[in-house]
């Protein structure tokens, strides 16, 4: 049984792939060494790229008032907060930027929250869909909540 429809999967993949292409092109244009990860590293280590040898995971289409952080994926395996990337690059649409965070800092920040919910509306509670046999655990935060953890910003929008 598929956990999401093929249409939704294709849409999500195309949005993610577009953000990854934009990121790759910007970094390459700056003359920085960037290599696309292997499929295995992408799936199992949660690393999309190696930039100067450092693992980075890119997350697309996040918004100032809604950023989901994944502790456990729908299969019950480690989510990207528990992956091996050193940095997470969140595309924040309203900022026209990729905002970079140390993955370990994000994980440490959200580890203090223990309450769970089945409502998508709640902030700072682990959203679960166990009622639907899904094993994911994700938490919703705002950009302003994690902004103090940001280590770098890479703008892609031109005004």
| Structural domain includes residue 158 | no
The helix (H) or strand (E) run that includes residue 35 is: strand 34-36
Q: In total, how many domains does the chain have? A: 1
| Structural domain includes residue 104 | yes
pLDDT at 158: 64
| Structural domain includes residue 35 | yes
| Structural domain includes residue 1 | no
| Structural domain includes residue 159 | no
The CATH number linked to 37 is 3.40.1350.10
CB neighbour list of residue 30: distance below 8 Å, 6 or more residues apart: none
pLDDT at 68: 98
Give the C-alpha separation, 140 to 133, whole Å: 20
pLDDT at 1: 45
Question: Residues of the chain whose pLDDT is less than 50?
Answer: 1
- Host domain of residue 64: 6-153
pLDDT at 144: 98
Identify which of 53, 29, 12 has the alpha carbon closest to the alpha carbon of residue 154.
29
pTM: 0.91
pLDDT at 10: 62
């Amino acid at each position: 049984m598929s956990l999401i429809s093929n249409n939704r999967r294709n849409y999500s993949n195309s949005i993610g792939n577009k953000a990854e292409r934009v990121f790759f092109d910007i970094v390459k244009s700056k003359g920085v060494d960037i290599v696309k990860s292997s499929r295995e590293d992408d799936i199992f280590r949660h690393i999309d790229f190696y930039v100067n040898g450092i693992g980075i995971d890119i997350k697309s289409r996040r918004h100032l008032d809604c950023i989901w952080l994944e502790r456990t994926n729908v299969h019950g395996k480690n989510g990207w907060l528990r992956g091996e990337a050193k940095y997470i690059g969140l595309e924040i649409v309203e900022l026209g930027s990729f905002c970079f965070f140390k993955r370990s800092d994000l994980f440490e920040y959200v580890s203090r929250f223990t309450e769970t919910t089945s409502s998508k509306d709640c902030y700072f509670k682990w959203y679960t869909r166990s009622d639907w046999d899904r094993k994911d655990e994700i938490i919703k935060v705002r950009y302003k909540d994690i902004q103090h953890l940001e280590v770098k910003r890479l703008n892609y929008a031109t005004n």
